[in-house]
């Protein structure tokens, strides 16, 4: 294999495969409940908007989107993205948009296009492990800045700043966060922008969950708050429109001081490696991102979005309240997305070695699968995905409670 292949190792895959590869007998009356995968379609209770499905059927019959498109994306789709995400303080043109194969593909273009061997980028801990995978596959280093659970997973700004050196090429900021479900307030984002400005380091803003926040928590796109720091924002259809398998994402250039012209050229070159993203799905973007106000389609999209977010918010509240009452557990309040990070107390669950042991034994004894904090470089935590039906979550949390009670007693 090539050096790039040898460098490409996803910690989630290794840990999950180790846990799931173990032979175990089915538990009577306890079917598997997988709260591990960040896929809103996993349980069948959430689905894509009708407008999106109907638009896709129409496009299929028209047969006009079956061929190749321009590698940075179809022009109507780029126009729709630029229109949807522009604001008075942050204007995008279609040329500021590149469409990729999912948000992961957009991250790949952004990170691969910015780092060389020996460079480094700053990434959050806990954080989505793909940032590390992409950087290290290029021969670059990742430096982890800590998110603080006692501050609802806000970044340790002083520690982040201390990590910056002459080879730092970018700061990845994920807001709202996977795996934390946190949403940063404006003043915290301004602090992070201030550090980037002081050290002349651009920001990669992973805002795939940007329109998925709960009541009382406002989302502020980083680009809208910056006046001097270049921001490359990535997003996509996957989570907001409940279609992670459709693989269409995008990145957007915000360049307030005009320093990204070479990077733009580089990113456009990288799009030619796969000759562009799925043209059929791109064809549907104008209808779902920029529906005509006052139409039946616009009203339908708004209503389905409302239902989706109400479901997630109710599930988030239930998950937090339920797990807060379980002996040995301490969840951190989710504020958006579909995740909560839950700490466990090893002084109470004393026969649990670590978070990997916790998730391994929980799966073996109760057939509930959650991701250990090790997947996100954060020990003594585990991540729960709460997008499933209420009854499923209720069953899962009953089992988690029974598991923790049993192991708390075993340690006495």
pLDDT at 51: 96
- Give me the helices (H) in 87-225, please: 102-112, 130-137, 157-163, 186-199, 222-225
Over residues 190-246, the pLDDT tens digits come to: 999 999 999 999 999 999 999 999 999 999 999 999 999 999 999 999 999 999 999
Residue 144 is encoded by which pair of tokens? 């982890």
φ, ψ at 133 (rounded to 5°) = -60, -45
Task: Confirm if 282 and 73 have CB atoms less than 8 A apart.
Answer: yes
Phi-psi group of 377: left, alpha or beta (phi > 0 → left; psi -120 to 50 → alpha; rest → beta): left
Nearest to residue 143, comparing CAs of 112, 171, 173? 171
Residue 318: per-residue pLDDT: 98
What would the pLDDT profile of 97-149 be if each residue is shown by its tens digit? 999 999 999 999 999 999 999 999 999 999 999 999 999 999 999 999 999 99
**Residue 412 confidence class, pLDDT cut points 50, 70, 90:** low
pLDDT confidence bin for 409, thresholds 50/70/90: confident
- Cα 254 vs. chain centroid, distance in angstroms? 20
Predicted local distance difference test score (pLDDT) of residue 411 = 56
Q: What is the structure's pLDDT at 148?
A: 97
User: Is the pLDDT higher at 176 or at 350?
Assistant: 176
Backbone angles phi and psi of 305, in degrees to 5: -65, -40
- Report phi then psi at 201, rounded to 5: -120, 125
Write out pLDDT tens, residues 247-275.
999 999 999 999 999 999 999 999 999 88
Share of the chain above pLDDT 90, in %: 91
Say if CB 76 and CB 85 are below 8 A apart.
no
* Cβ atoms within 10 Å of 35's Cβ, excluding its own: 26
Residue 17 has a pLDDT of 76
Name the band, by pLDDT with cuts 50, 70 and 90, for residue 9.
confident
pLDDT computed for residue 124 by the predictor: 98
**Per-domain residue ranges of the chain:** 3-47+297-410, 50-289
Please choose, from the candidates 83, 93, 103, 88, the residue with its C-alpha nearest in 3D space to the C-alpha of residue 289: 83
24 falls in which pLDDT band (50, 70, 90)?
Answer: confident
Cβ 160 vs Cβ 195: under 8 Å: yes
Strands 368-369 and 33-34: parallel
**pLDDT interval class at 150 (50, 70, 90):** very high
Full DSSP string of 352-368: --SHHHHHHHHHHHH-E
Six token digits for residue 20: 């799931």
Alpha helices (H) along 21-96 = 50-62, 75-85
* Coil vs helix vs strand at 200: coil
Question: What pLDDT does 14 receive?
Answer: 76
Of 1-15, 87-101, 201-215, 386-400, give the lowest mean pLDDT range. 1-15
Find how far residue 200's CA is from the centre of its chain: 26
3-state secondary structure of 50: helix
Residue 15's pLDDT is what? 75
Helix residue ranges, H only, 63-185: 75-85, 102-112, 130-137, 157-163
Give the architecture (CATH level 2) of 3-47+297-410.
Alpha-Beta Complex (3.90)
φ/ψ (deg, to 5) at 70: -60, 140
Least confident of 1-10, 48-57, 157-166: 1-10
- 329 beta partners: 344
Q: What share of the chain is helix, strand, coil (3-state, %, to 5)?
A: 45, 15, 40
How far the first Cα of the chain sits from its last, in Å, is 51
Say whether the peptide bond before residue 126 is cis (omega within 30 degrees of 0).
yes
pLDDT of residue 21 exceeding 90, the answer is: no
d(CA 122, CA 107): 14
Pairwise CA distance, residues 211 & 337, whole Å: 9
Is the CATH code 3.40.640.10 the one for domain 50-289? yes
């Amino acid at each position: 294999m090539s050096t790039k292949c040898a460098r490409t190792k996803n910690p989630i895959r290794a840990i999950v495969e180790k846990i799931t590869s173990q032979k175990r007998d089915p538990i009577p009356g306890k079917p598997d409940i997988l709260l591990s995968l960040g896929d809103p379609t996993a349980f069948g209770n959430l689905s894509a908007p009708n407008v999106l499905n109907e638009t896709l059927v129409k496009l299929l019959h028209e047969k006009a989107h079956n061929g190749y498109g321009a590698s940075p994306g179809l022009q109507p789709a780029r126009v729709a993205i630029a229109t949807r995400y522009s604001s008075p303080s942050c204007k995008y043109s279609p040329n500021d948009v590149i469409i990729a194969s999912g948000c992961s593909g957009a991250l790949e273009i952004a990170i691969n296009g910015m780092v060389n061997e020996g460079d480094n980028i700053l990434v959050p801990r806990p954080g989505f492990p793909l940032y590390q995978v992409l950087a290290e596959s290029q021969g670059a280093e990742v430096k982890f800045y800590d998110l603080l659970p006692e501050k609802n997973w806000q970044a340790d700004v002083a520690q982040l700043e201390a990590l910056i050196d002459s080879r730092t090429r970018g700061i990845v900021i994920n807001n709202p966060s996977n795996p934390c479900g946190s949403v940063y307030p404006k003043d915290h984002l301004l602090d992070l922008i201030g550090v980037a400005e002081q050290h002349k380091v651009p920001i990669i803003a992973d805002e795939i969950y940007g329109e998925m926040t709960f009541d009382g928590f406002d989302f502020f796109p980083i680009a809208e708050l910056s006046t001097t720091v270049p921001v490359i924002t990535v997003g996509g259809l996957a989570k907001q429109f409940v279609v992670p398998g459709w693989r269409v994402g995008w990145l957007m250039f915000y360049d307030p001081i005009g320093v990204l012209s070479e990077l733009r050229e580089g990113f456009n070159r990288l799009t030619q490696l796969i000759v562009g993203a799925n043209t059929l799905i791109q064809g549907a973007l104008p209808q779902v991102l920029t529906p005509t106000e006052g139409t039946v389609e616009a009203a339908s999209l708004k209503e389905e979005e409302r239902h989706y977010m109400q479901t997630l918010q109710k599930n988030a509240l239930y998950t937090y309240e339920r797990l807060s009452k379980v002996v040995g557990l301490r969840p951190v309040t989710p504020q958006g997305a579909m995740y909560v990070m839950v700490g466990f107390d090893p002084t109470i669950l004393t026969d649990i070695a670590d978070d990997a042991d916790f998730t391994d034994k929980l799966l073996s004894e109760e057939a509930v699968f959650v991701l250990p904090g090790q997947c996100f470089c954060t020990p003594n935590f585990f991540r729960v995905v709460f997008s499933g039906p209420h009854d499923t979550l209720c069953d899962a949390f009953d089992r988690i409670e029974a598991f923790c009670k049993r192991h708390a007693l075993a340690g006495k």
